[in-house]
Amino acid sequence: MAGAPWWEQFDPGPRESGASGPTPPVTGTGTLAPAQPQVVRDDSGDHQDHPPPLRPPRRLQVVAAVLALVLVALLGVLAARTVGATSAPAAQEGTAGGPTSAPASSATGRPAGGTAAADAAATTELEELRRTGLEAHPPDGQWVAQLAAKSVGTTDPVQTAANGSSTFYAADILAQSKEIASGVAGGDVFVLKTTDFGDGLVDKRDNPYWVTLAAGPFGNADDVRTWCASMFASTPAAERGNVCLPKQLTPPE
């Protein structure tokens, strides 16, 4: 058939349903439907399109950043206050046997907590004990045991005064003398001043020492040392000279 399409020239007859063969192209002058995009499928698994992640608005991001900065600043202030409250330097403790300084004192020379009235009363009582001691044991060259010697304001690093420090005032000297009289030394304990015998020893402030003494049948210094070793046996020999030593009561020069 002249001018017939090629498939009519070679097609033997009508196509049956389900028969295979090329599909005739669409002819005509109408507008062609747009080609559909080819979808490439991934056979390795199901393919799903995910929407892009949502981002918070920029204003919320700015607010969050500002709040974070404020929180950091507040934590810094709280930390500084905590450090300031706990970083006060601790008080330094002295070493045992090392030099000690006089405690803080008031305008009257007494340490904090002491009273001038108590010292005045103690001085009066010490003077009475001294008068009794001079009557009973006038200095005449006899040997005695010296058990304590303190001037007002003396600091003894190895002893503790009644005020809790190592500095002795009149009330502390009186308390120590009474403690010695009621202790191992026995009953024949008396009180004198260093200006009552010998060369009249005084401290650097020209104050005499109040001395607590024990009388006994001592013929010489060795007798006193033997007595001290017996009465203060629990005290190491190297420290015994601070609590008991021989003293000869010669008339004042």
Instruction: Looking at 47-183, list the stretches that DSSP marks H as alpha helix, in order from N- to C-terminal side.
Output: 58-86, 116-136, 170-181
Q: Whole-angstrom Cα distance, residue 131 to residue 127?
A: 6
Residues 229-245: b if buried by 16+ CB within 10 A, e if exposed: eebbeebeeeebeebbe
Q: What is the pLDDT of residue 99?
A: 29
CA distance 113 to 117: 12
Phi, psi of 54 (to 5 degrees): -80, 135
**Per-residue pLDDT at 58:** 65
**Neighbour count for residue 225 (Cβ, 10 Å):** 17
Bridging pattern class, strands 167-168 and 189-193: unpaired
pLDDT tens digits in sequence order for the chain, 253 residues long: 444 444 444 444 444 444 444 444 444 444 444 445 454 454 544 445 555 555 556 666 666 676 777 676 666 656 555 544 433 333 332 222 222 333 334 444 554 445 899 999 999 999 999 999 999 999 999 999 999 999 999 998 888 999 999 999 999 999 999 999 998 766 689 999 999 999 999 999 999 999 999 999 999 999 999 999 999 999 998 888 889 999 999 999 8
Q: Where are the alpha helices (DSSP H) in 87-215?
A: 116-136, 170-181
Tokens linked to 17: 């349903």
The pLDDT value given to residue 72:
64
- pTM of the model as a whole: 0.56
Structure confidence at residue 70 (pLDDT): 64
The whole-number pLDDT of residue 195 equals 97
User: Could you give the CA distance from residue 89 to residue 83 in angstroms, rounded to a whole number?
Assistant: 12
